[in-house]
């Protein structure tokens, strides 16, 4: 189970990296690459799977549900912003891209700093 959890963690981190990298490289002119949608969906799905595996395993410590809830809420907001940007490219501004990048950085900070 731990190996599967670690594989999902790598995919989760790669998903967030795709989101952050895709947004940062497309600030000028402001556009949202379609890969960002795939990245956020990868991060979201693998995060949910990791929590499920950790909860169901006896050998892995149970995750902090308050932390997971905050991270999930941030991830859902990022997902909504990305979906709006992909469906309505005219609404993509540097502010929207900055919000996505900032919330992505916030989610990473919560993961690392919340102990």
- Predicted local confidence at residue 42, as pLDDT: 97
- Predicted local confidence at residue 34, as pLDDT: 86
Pairwise CA distance, residues 1 & 36, whole Å: 29
CA 115 to chain CA centroid, Å, is 19
Mean pLDDT of the chain: 95
Q: 114, 115, 111, 87: which is closest to 17 by C-alpha?
A: 111
Per-residue pLDDT of 25-45, as tens digits, reads 999 899 999 899 999 999 999
Contact 38, 18 (CB under 8 A): yes
- Mean per-residue pLDDT for 64-90? 96
Q: 21, 3, 67: which is closest to 75 by C-alpha?
A: 67
- Predicted local confidence at residue 77, as pLDDT: 98
Segments making up each domain of the chain, as ranges: 2-113
């Amino acid at each position: 189970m731990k190996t599967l959890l670690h594989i999902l963690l790598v995919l989760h981190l790669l998903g967030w990296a795709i989101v952050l990298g895709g947004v940062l490289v497309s600030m000028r002119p402001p556009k949202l690459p379609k890969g960002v949608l795939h990245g956020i969906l990868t991060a979201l799905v693998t995060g949910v799977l990791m929590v499920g595996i950790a909860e169901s395993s006896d050998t892995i410590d149970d995750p902090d549900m308050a932390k997971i809830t905050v991270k999930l809420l941030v991830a859902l907001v990022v997902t909504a912003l990305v979906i709006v940007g992909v469906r309505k490219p005219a609404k993509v501004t540097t502010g929207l891209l900055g919000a996505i990048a900032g919330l992505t950085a916030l989610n990473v900070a919560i993961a690392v700093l919340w102990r």
